[in-house]
Structure 1
Amino acid sequence: MDIVLLILGFIFMLVGILGSFLPILPGPPISWVGLLLLHLTKAIPPDSWFLGITAALALVVFGLDYVIPAMGTKKFGGTKYGVIGTTLGLLVALFFPILGPFGIIVWPFVGALVGELLNKADGKTATKAAFGSFLGFLTGTFMKFLIAIIYFGLFISKAWNYRLELFPFLS
């Protein structure tokens, strides 16, 4: 059963990292579930402090991901249309990789700009608001990715430290 939990935890870690970029998946909470699954194995000693702190951090980052883009948009004079445009631009970048890896940067900005222009903003105001929305999006994405990578590192570290307990046939 430990091996199944370890494999499931690893899968949750990978999905959590992907969730840092995909707006439909909550990356840090999914990564945290991977840590939880690892701690449910018999080999890893239960650590409620570790799980509690990492859960709280995952939830804070998850919440901030919704607040920061709105703050960036408002700080630069944007509206919810800019935020919606940023999200749609990200989806375009993910499902239609026309510009390759640069699409993840270009399309959210273009989406925010189009969203602001559809909201009847003039070109200068729309560009400024799109830039704010884009900065908020990048900040939120970076935070989620950083937490997911840190959680993945913790997962690998704990699994490595307890590898002989997880895989007794290795000794």
Structure 2
Amino acid sequence: MDILGWTLVILLFIIGMAGTIYPILPGAIAIYGAFFVYGLFFSFEPFGVFFWIIQSLIFIVLFIADYAVSAWGVKRYGGTKASIIGSTIGLIAGPFVIPAFGLIIGPFAGAVIGELIAGANLERSLKVGWGSLVGLFTSVIVKVILQSAMIILFVLWLIFN
């Protein structure tokens, strides 16, 4: 059972980190879930209230940052609500429509199309599309840092408790 427990924990960590790139995967949720899997297979004893507070705060910040940073990129480059919605749709649909490059093309195209629908000219729409990519890449960096912190904190907590 130990091997199964650790396999599930590590698999959830891998899924979580892959979720930083593929938004359809439950990134932070998988990592947070790994803590519960560990507790069910081994013990919740090493995790005190302080551990859960820290992890929960990081988890909440991850969700807020994910949406806020992506929207920031679009808004910073002059985007409207239509381009934010388009970028979000493109982010989700892009990897399925164009498997190899959809993660990049999807948000860009979605923001451009959203901005064109809102009545902007092509030059402005392309600028907003670029902003969606800036937001996407910034969001990925933030998620990698925070999710790595969750995993490292988990490992350190096990080592020192």
Asked if Structure 1 and Structure 2 have the same fold, meaning a TM-score greater than 0.5 normalized by the shorter chain, the answer is yes
Higher alpha-carbon deviation: 39-48 or 5-14 = 39-48
CA contact 1:81–1:112 (8 Å) conserved in 2: yes
Cross-structure match for 2:55? 54
1:37 and 1:47 map into 2 onto residues whose CA distance is: 16
Equivalenced residue count is: 159
| Runs of at least 5 residues in structure 1 that lack an aligned partner in the other structure | 163-171
1:126 Cα deviation from its structure 2 partner: 1.1
2:44 and 2:78 map into 1 onto residues whose CA distance is: 53
Cross-structure match for 2:124? 125
Output one character per residue of 1:102-133: Cα deviation in whole Å (capped at 9) or x when no partner.
44223321221122112211112212222222
Q: Residue type of the partner of 1:80?
A: K
CA contact 1:89–1:107 (8 Å) conserved in 2: yes
Q: RMSD across aligned C-alpha pairs, in angstroms?
A: 2.9
| Runs of at least 5 residues in structure 2 that lack an aligned partner in the other structure | none
Identity %: 32
CA contact 1:38–1:155 (8 Å) conserved in 2: no
1:11 equivalent to 2:11? Answer yes
CA 1:97 to 1:74, structure 2 compared with 1: closer, same or farther past 3 Å? closer
CA contact 1:86–1:109 (8 Å) conserved in 2: yes
1:155 and 1:129 map into 2 onto residues whose CA distance is: 39
1:114 and 1:8 map into 2 onto residues whose CA distance is: 41
Cross-structure match for 1:86? 87
1:72 equivalent to 2:73? Answer yes
1:129 and 1:55 map into 2 onto residues whose CA distance is: 33
1:11 and 1:109 map into 2 onto residues whose CA distance is: 31
Matches within 5 A, 1:85-164: 85-97=86-98, 100=100, 102-154=101-153, 161=159
Structure of higher RCO (CA pairs closer than 8 Å, 6+ residues apart): 1
1:142 Cα deviation from its structure 2 partner: 2.3
2:91 and 2:9 map into 1 onto residues whose CA distance is: 27
CA contact 1:29–1:59 (8 Å) conserved in 2: no
CA 1:32 to 1:43, structure 2 compared with 1: closer, same or farther past 3 Å? closer
1:3 Cα deviation from its structure 2 partner: 4.8
CA 1:3 to 1:158, structure 2 compared with 1: closer, same or farther past 3 Å? farther
Higher alpha-carbon deviation: 121-130 or 26-35 = 26-35
CA 1:33 to 1:64, structure 2 compared with 1: closer, same or farther past 3 Å? same
2:31 and 2:13 map into 1 onto residues whose CA distance is: 5
Q: Residue type of the partner of 1:35?
A: F
2:44 and 2:25 map into 1 onto residues whose CA distance is: 29
User: Secondary structure of the equivalent of 2:119?
Assistant: coil
1:158 and 1:54 map into 2 onto residues whose CA distance is: 11
CA contact 1:9–1:35 (8 Å) conserved in 2: yes
